[in-house]
Each structure stands twice: as C-alpha cells, then as structure tokens.
Structure 1
Amino acid sequence: MTIRPTSKSALLAAAAALVAAAATPAAAADFGANAHRDRHVLLISIDGLHAGDLSTWAALHPGSALAKLARRGTTYTDARSSQPSDSFPGILALTTGGTPKTTGVYYDDSYDRKLSPAGSACKTVGTEVVFDEAVDVNSGALDAGGGIDPAKLPLDPAKGCTPVYPHSFLRTNTVFEVAQQAGLTTAWADKHPAYDLLNGPSGKGVQDAYNPEIAATDGTVAGTIAYDALKVAGVKNQIDGRDHTGTKAQPVPAVFGLNFQAVSVAQKTAGYAPKGAFSPEIAEALARTDAAIGSLTAELRAKGLEKRTEIVLTAKHGQSPVDRSKLKIVDKKLLGSVVDGVKPGLLAQATADDVALLWLTDGKQAEAVAAALRAHAAELNIDKVLVGPALVKQFGNPATDSRTPDVIVLPKAGTVYTKPTATKVAEHGGFTADDTHVALLVAGPGGEGEKVTGRVDTTQVAPTILKFLGLDPKALAAVRAEGTKVLPDVR
C-alpha cells in the first residue's frame, strides 16, 4: 500500500514499523589505534541554510539552540559548499573531503559514458545516472517499498553487467568507512535510500542507516517538518545507546547525524520576504528545526555526552535566489534546442536547475556548443559558459573521465532552468553566492564563541571530523588527492 503521511503522528507511526539491521563493527585497523573511543561527532546539515540565515536567526533569537551553539563554538562566516551545489556533491564534500573532480559524483542526476542503462543488458554504453527516489522500489512509501530496486540501477559492462549501487558509484572513501574500519560505530539519516552513497566503495561505511523517502510526504512545509522529526527521533535513540529504531542496543556512534529538509522546502515553495527577511514559512521551518536541534543537544547533555561530542552544523547547499525579484524561470528545453542545433542528437544528458551540466554524444563539439550557447545568452540568461581549459582545471578532462560534463552553463543569479509552469521560487545546484555561501558552525567541548572570517570550504569538515576522533585525516583518499586541510581554529 502506498503511504503518503501528511502529519507528524502518521509519519511517526510509519517510522515505528521500520526496522533496519546494523552491521557488526569491523575489527580495529592499525591506523585506528589512536582513536578517541570516548568521543563523538554529530554532523547536522540544515539543507539550504545560508551563512546569513544562521547569523540573522541567532541575533533575532538569542535564546535559541542555534544561538547557544554559536556562543560556545566557532562560526565560519565565509564557508562555501561544493560546486555544483547539489545535495550529492554537497554531502560528499562534508564526508569525503573531496570535490566532484575526485569523487566522480557531480549530481544525483548525472551521466557516465562507460555505464549502460538499466534493463539494457549492456547492449549500449553511455547512460544517465539517477540516484534519487527514481530508483526506489516504491517512492510513494516511506520505506521506499523496501529500498533500492536493482532493476532500476545503471549497469557496469566492465563488471559483468552488474547493477551500480550509489556506494559503488563513489570513487573515494568516506569518514564513515574510516571510522568503521577503526572499530568505531557509525550512523547517518538522510532523505532517500540512495544515500547508500555514504557507505562508500566498501559498501559498509554506515552501520546504522536510516533514509526514509521524502517523496512519500505531501511536499508541504508542515509535512516536511513532521518528516524531519522521524530522523530526529532516530538520532535520539542512537544517543541513548540504541539503533535508530530504538529496538537494538548499540554503542553511541562515533560519527553520526542527519539532514533537515524543512528549510529547503520553505525556500523553494514560499521563498524569502523582501530584503531577504524570513517569510512566515521559512521562520516556521527554522523555528521547528531549531527546536529539534535543541532536543538533540539536551539529549546529549542528559546522557553525559555533551563534553565529548563535537557538533558540526552546516548545509549541503544554499538556495537561490534569496531576493525574489531576481527570479527568472527559463524553459530548460531551450538548452537542448541550442545544443542539438549544433548537431542533431548531440545532447546526451542535460542536468539543469540553477546550473546546467551538459554531456555530449560527441565531445569534440564542446567548443561549438559553447559558442552556440553564448550566442543565445540573452534568452538563456547566461552569465558564463565553462568549457575547455577552464572546465578541465576545476573538474578534469571529459575526454579522459567518463563522468565529467563537456560543458557547464552558469546562468545569471536568480535563474532557474525548469518548466515554464513551475511554481518553485528557488533552486540549488549553481555556483552563485546564494547557492554556495552556507552556514558552518563547529561547537566542541570547551569552546568559546568566536568567528573565523577567512574563506573555508565544506570539504574541510571531513578531515576535521577525523582529527577530532583521533584518526588520520589522510586516511581519506580525497584529502590526499586534493590536499584538503583541517578547519582552522578547531580545538
């Protein structure tokens, strides 16, 4: 039966019926000998939360949970998320220390020139790769009908035409894998079963995963607040020494956490008030999220864990535009028309929100496509087109990497590529400040409120987590490849 809970009680009742098995921790690896087994990191992503949102909320509500964390933590006022600022590269920045150039993951809807479409028996090569609710057994059910349907996954011709799960699509390891291999317990809660991604290439990183399907809700702010409450309840159980269902004893995870969706939904459906003030919908989403975070910190305190837990509060991505007057909807079909105008059938895949990633059937036509896009810059509201050396420098060479887009379109701030009839008033994925200038607050044991105004990146969260746990940040492949540094001024 399809489950579409629209109230908190309905969601909680549905969640009570879900039971997930937690894997047995692996034996401690040699590099985990110095692990601080009495320490914990609680990672929280308030999806869509800008740095300005955090500072404004704390100023308006000095007694709030977020304000209290800021007074005992370090706030990074110029933190930048991944580019593209999609949820997948956003969460991977936080948990691998790497960018798409290293992780190979550009979006939850991307393309791979070496994989084959689901159900194709590998008779063709080159396919769109979608890792969202589309791969659920039943996206209308909170438990996704049992999780991921392997028949909906892309296939790998190089590995016997076997299905490619999200975790095996990822090229680099995660903080969950490093912690788990050191004999520490790990957990995470997110919005789709496709967050299997965070298990990493081993497939074993997250021992207690809880990924209820957000597509099963009614899409309203109220429904999303109730949905977020499910994950909060699961994390409270973990703080209490049980798995997320509350039915099985397990150690309090060394690294665990969740994302909140209500703020993001409010930004998309209602938007901000004039001059970037909080609309009633965003204010309600923030208030309920703040209260939920307060309940988590209270639970840590009640269990005597507050002084042994580092809380990292940030966002996978921002949301654009904050200023509603800058919103401009552009028909995404125009992108395909311009590309195929260069050569029929040239567009292999276009992933478009407030950015456009373009993969071509003939990469040698990339410069011609870029020229055609620039010629239509006015109707497509284009600010910049990345192609050739500029693209290669940031993302690698599409001629040698099967995942790298051939062309990336960066529209003017406020542009959203979607259906002309779309009602959403904001989106993410792009490279603008509204997309990427996110909140980042680290509140650790014994910290004092301070601000770091220098530029930092959310990729720096991953090595910082490992450092706090007494693990080697260089155990992360992306940290080694990209030279990612630990956040400054973290005790």
Structure 2
Amino acid sequence: MKWQFRLLLFGAACVFLLGVALLLASSSPGRPAAPALGGSLVSAAADVAVPDGAEAAEIGETGDIDDSKAGDEMTREPEPSRGPEDATGALADYVIYINWDGFAYDYYVWANSSGGPGTPVLNFLASRGVLFTATRNGFPSITNPMQTSIVTGAWPATHGNTYRYYDAAENIVKQTGRENAAETIAEAVEASGMSCASVQQFTLDGRGAYARDPSHLYIQPGGPWRSRVAEAVKLLRREPVNTPDGPVVVPEIPRFLAIYADDLDAAGHNSGIGYGLSLVFNYDAWKTKMIKQLAAMDRDLGSLVDALMDLGIFERTAVVLTADHGMSPVSGKSSLPDLLATLSQLGYTCELLAPGERARDGTDLVLVSSGLAVQFYFRRDITLSQYDAVIEALSAKPYFGGYMSLHELRKAGAHPMLGQLLIWPEPPHHFKTQGLFFGIAGQHDSGDDTSRHVFMLLSGAGVRNGAVVDGPVEIIDVAPTISRLLGIRPPANATGRVLTEALLPAGAPASDLQRETRSEERSGPGALPRAQELPGGRTTRRDYISD
C-alpha cells in the first residue's frame, strides 16, 4: 500500500504545482492575455455594442450610447485580421488616408471665415482630432513627386521621382512619370499581413494595391470625389466594386484604405470644365470657386463618416486627410522674356527646353520649367561669385519670389537632378511661354507658400481630441504616422517622423489628455473653427450638413 499512498501524494503535488503555475502565468505582466486592440464586447441583453477601453471612456463623457439604431446600423464588424506586427501596439483598427490633390490650407481658412459656408464635416473631424496649421510639401511642388513622398515618407532624393529634369549626360530633358524606388505605406501594410485597398490613389497601383487581389485591392472608378467616395463606402460595406475581372467583394473591411481625388486641383488650375466645373476670369471669382468646391467635397465626406458610424467602426478608425500641394494664382504677361534677357546680359547663352528637347552646341545654361519655378543647369564651370551674381540680378526683379540654392535643395531632400538653382516668381507673375491676358489660371510648381502650404488633419482612434498643432510638419510625416497608428513598421525608406504630438499613448483615452489648444481660445487666420459638439458621441449626416 506504500507505493499507492506515495503515488497518491505525488499526484496531488503535481496538481497543486500545476495550479500554482497557471495562476502565476495568468497574472504575469510579461505574458498578458490577448490584447484588446480597439475591440468591443457585445451585450446579449440589449443586442447593442458596448465599447471597451478608450472608446468607453470617451462615450461615457459625451452621453449614453444611442441604442435607437440597434440592429443594422449598430452591428459591429468582427475583429479585423491581425498582422504579425500588431503586437507593437496598434492605436487604431483601421486607417483611412484621404488625399485631396491641390488642397491649399488657405482654402480651409477662406471657407471658415466670416460669411463663408464652413466645412462642418472637416470641423467635426477636427473636434475629434488634430488640425495642423503649418504643413509644407517639398521640391518640386508637383503632383507625382509629392504624392510619392506622402506614401513613402521620403523626399525625391530617396524615391527618385522629380517630375521634369535635364539629363546632362544624355543632353535631353526627361520626365519621371510614376517612378518610385522606395517602399510605399501600402507595401508595408501588405508585408505586415494586413489587408488594404486604394480608390484611385495611383501611387499605390501595383505598389501594395492590385487590381486582381481582393485583399489588397486597387480600383480606379474615375469621376469626381463624390463618385470615388461612393466606391470607398462600398468597400467598407463589403459591397461589390468594379475591377478588370468584374465585380469583387473584399474579404474584410480593409485595415488601410486610401482615397484620392483631384477636384480641387482641377478647379484651381481653372483650365477646363471637367467634373462639372466652370471657368472664371478674375481672382475674386477664382477664390469663390475654390471655396464652393471645398464646401461641396466636405458635404460628400459626410457619407464616409456616416458609413463608419453605421458599421460601428467610427471609434476604431483613424482618418488622415492631406494634400500634395496648394495652388498659386497666375495671370498677366509672362516674365520669362525678361528672365532670359537678364541671363543673356550676364553672359549666358540660355535655352528653355521642353521634355524630349536637347540643348544646342554652345548653350551654356539650360532652363527647365513647368510655368512657375525655373530649374538651372549650368553646362560650364562657374565660380561662386558668378553663381551669386545670377541670384542677385534676378532677386532685384519685381517678379522675383524666391530661390533655393544647390545646397538648400539638397538639404530639403530634392533630387540631385532637379538642378543647381531653383527660382520662382511672386504670384501672380509666371514664367509660362505665353501670357495670360484674359482670365486667371492656377499653377503649383513653386516654392511660394501658396503652393507649399497644405491642409492636414488627423482624427479618430489613437489621436488626441480637439488639438491644433501650429509647429512645422511635413507631408513625409504621413506614412510613418499611419504605420504607428496601425502598429506596423514604417516604409523601409521613410525619413519622415511619427507625429507623436498628435497621438495618444497606447491604451490612453483621448479624454485623459489636456487639449493642446482649444478651438474657442483661438482666433484669426489659421484658427480652428468652432466645431459643433454632437450628442452621445454619435451623429448622422443630417446633424452636420445643412441641405
């Protein structure tokens, strides 16, 4: 019987030790239970979503949860797929990156000035996020290079897209198209194992989003913002969208969704009637046109906010909205003839070359331009004093706006092929080959602040509430910040920074932090318009849109 008694004691000891081990494992800080990254618990009694964590704290301060929409609109989407890098601490389950091409920060200020229509949806998002008042792009201030800079988090010196340049070795002017030697944010998302989709954000076409991959889908519906945001809503609702192979339904709500629209860019150029736009013929009419266009896009942005709320993921989604460049209004005679004459007087034989053109023998200074900034390429050695003499002569001109030296261009991340000197005019002056004697146009290939100062807003999950950041930020900060929100590594070549001043610490509710600047305490240009507080932390389109 001794062996049976010993066996019984041994078994009891094993059970006791196993119980202790399990207890220690469950309480050990080094081995937490599966983290709740923005998930929610479902109340069986009421059949409505009961938010947990940061979401519960925020709604608890604004009022009771509105359960009048229990059922379809309050149905929570199941937990999204997790990439292997989620363990770093995602701040949001979903991130939507919206790019309104040509969205100058001035447009936002104009629309929200006295007598303006306002931008209630943008302001609603700002009340639940951070507005950046001093966001700048890089060089050149042109769509393809700057769109590429946003999605890679790097300047042209890194990704290689500089739009138009003179290749001295081959003696020809070239354009870069969609060239990109750097990893995109969508490729980083794809590598993490997360899903993504792009609605006409062309810099992601084949670069993390693909026409024939439902889990990383690229679609190009065309048309204005209204049409594109409608397709984005279909993706969120997991409704069929058109692809080259026919209708496709994404397998889950994309963790990262990019949407691109160029309505503001088209309106600002004022060169055609696409998207139902009309031509205007003076600055005041142009300004009014831009305000109206922004107000219209703001209204249609409401449908996206509504969709997020209907799906029950609004509180778990971060929204990033920015632009690649602004717009400089131009009119009147061209200053190009005087520029060429001045350089000739300094002893240079100049040629302004277009794409595909070559310099003649004897040309010692090649100029390249898209109408505003002029890129200088010296074909013979010059001294520093000769270089400075060019700048001095042109800076005395009434049309002179500013310049970037070779050293300054390199420091700003410009591609080495952008030139050895960059000069731009003061609006409304321009360097177009023909004058604009009737009407007004917009151009943005300039170092002027009208072209470089762009809108940027972060809102939603993981973002501080109602703050205004007046310090300088750059568009290359977008991709690293999106990466931080999703809890993944940034794009491999990114040199931008995470906008930590706009983000919450992991697990901290927005209500726990003091607002950096309250909207009601600000006034003057750049102020955050007073945003309407919404009952219960929820709203519908009719709450912030006056039809």
TM range (shorter): 0.5 to 0.7
Is 1:264 aligned to residue 265 of structure 2? yes
Q: Work out the CA distance in 2 between the residues paired with 1:128 and 1:415.
A: 26
Specify the structure having the higher radius of gyration (Cα): 2
Per-residue Cα deviation, 1:361-403 (whole angstroms, up to 9, x for no partner): x3645965774575455669334443443334334784xxxx3
In the alignment, is residue 433 of structure 1 matched against residue 446 of structure 2? no
Which residue number corresponds to residue 42 of structure 1?
Answer: 96
Question: Relative to 1, partners in 2 of residues 1:416 and 1:203: Cα closer, same or farther, differing over 3 Å?
Answer: farther
Does the residue aligned with 1:451 lie in a helix, a strand or coil? strand
- Give yes or no for contact 1:50–1:437 (8 Å, CA) kept in 2: yes
Shift of the 331–101 alpha-carbon distance from structure 1 to 2, 3 Å rule, reads: same
1:97 is aligned to 153
Cα 1:462–1:363 change in 2 (3 A) is farther
Is residue 2:233 matched to residue 1:253? no
CA separation of 1:356 and 1:248: change in aligned 2, threshold 3 A = same
Corresponding residue of 2:325: 317
**Contact 1:177–1:204 (CA under 8 A) maintained in structure 2:** no
* Alpha-carbon offset, residue 334 of structure 1: 6.6
Distance change >3 Å, CA 255–CA 293, structure 1 → 2: same
Q: 1:273 to 1:404 in 2, by over 3 A?
A: closer
| Distance in 1 between residues matched to 2:184 and 2:236, nearest whole Å | 22
Q: Which amino acid aligns with 1:92?
A: T
CA offset digits 1:154-184 (Å, max 9, x no partner): xxxxxxxxxxxx3xx3122111110011112
Query: Which stretch shifts more, 434-443 or 38-47?
Result: 38-47
Aligned to 2:349, what secondary structure does the other structure show?
A: helix
Please show how residues 291-306 of structure 1 align to structure 2 within 5 Å.
291-306=299-314
Aligned CA distance change for structure 1 residues 453 and 245 (closer, same or farther; 3 Å): same
Q: Is the 8 A contact 1:186 1:253 kept in 2?
A: yes
1:420 matches 2:434 = yes
| One-letter amino acid of the structure 1 residue matched with residue 249 of structure 2 | A
- Alignment of 1:341 with 2:344, yes or no, is no
Sort the Cα spacing of 1:345 and 1:53 in 2 relative to 1 into closer, same or farther, 3 A.
same
Match of 2:174 among 113, 124, 128: 128
**What is the number of equivalent residue pairs in this alignment?**
391
In structure 2, C-alpha distance between the alignment counterparts of 1:421 and 1:96, rounded to whole Å: 37
Whole-Å Cα distance in 2 between the matches of residues 63 and 376 of structure 1?
41
Aligned counterpart in structure 2 of residue 457 of structure 1, from 462, 474, 485: 474
2:408 — aligned with what? Answer: 390
Separation (CA, whole Å) in 2 of partners of 1:174 and 1:229: 26
Structure 1 position 285, deviation (Å): 1.2
Counterparts in 2 of 1:52 and 1:490: CA distance versus 1, 3 Å: farther
Overall identity of the aligned pairs, in % = 21
1:281 aligns with 2:294: no
When normalised by structure 1's length, the TM-score is 0.68
> In the aligned structure 2, how far is the partner of 1:63 from the partner of 1:241?
28
For structure 1, list consecutive stretches of 5 or more residues without a partner in the other structure.
Answer: 1-26, 115-123, 132-165, 214-225
Q: SS in structure 2 opposite 1:294?
A: helix
**SS of alignment partner, residue 441 of structure 1:** strand
Residues 307 and 85 of structure 1: is their aligned pair in 2 closer, same or farther, counting only changes over 3 Å? Answer: same
RMSD, aligned CA: 3.9
Q: 1:125 to 1:190 in 2, by over 3 A?
A: farther
Q: Residue type of the partner of 2:441?
A: V
Structure-2 separation of matches of 1:313 and 1:378: 39
Offset, 1:356: 1.9
Is 1:271–1:282's contact at 8 Å kept on the other side of the alignment? no
1:197: how far off? Answer: 6.9
Deviates more, 1:414-423 or 1:41-50: 414-423
> CA–CA distance in 2 between the matches of 1:455 and 1:188?
28
| Change over 3 Å in CA distance of 1:243–1:477 after alignment to 2 | farther
The Cα shift of 1:73 comes to 1.5
What is the CA deviation profile of residues 458-477 of structure 1, one whole-angstrom value per residue up to 9, with x for unaligned ones? 2111111000001123x431
Is structure 2 residue 132 aligned with structure 1 residue 82?
no
Partner deviation per Cα, 1:335-379 (whole Å, 9 max, x = no partner): 67758715734456613232123445x364596577457545566
Moved more, 420-429 or 450-459: 420-429
Residue 237, structure 1, aligned to residue 241, structure 2: no
For structure 2, the 5+ residue unaligned runs are: 1-80, 271-278, 351-360, 505-547
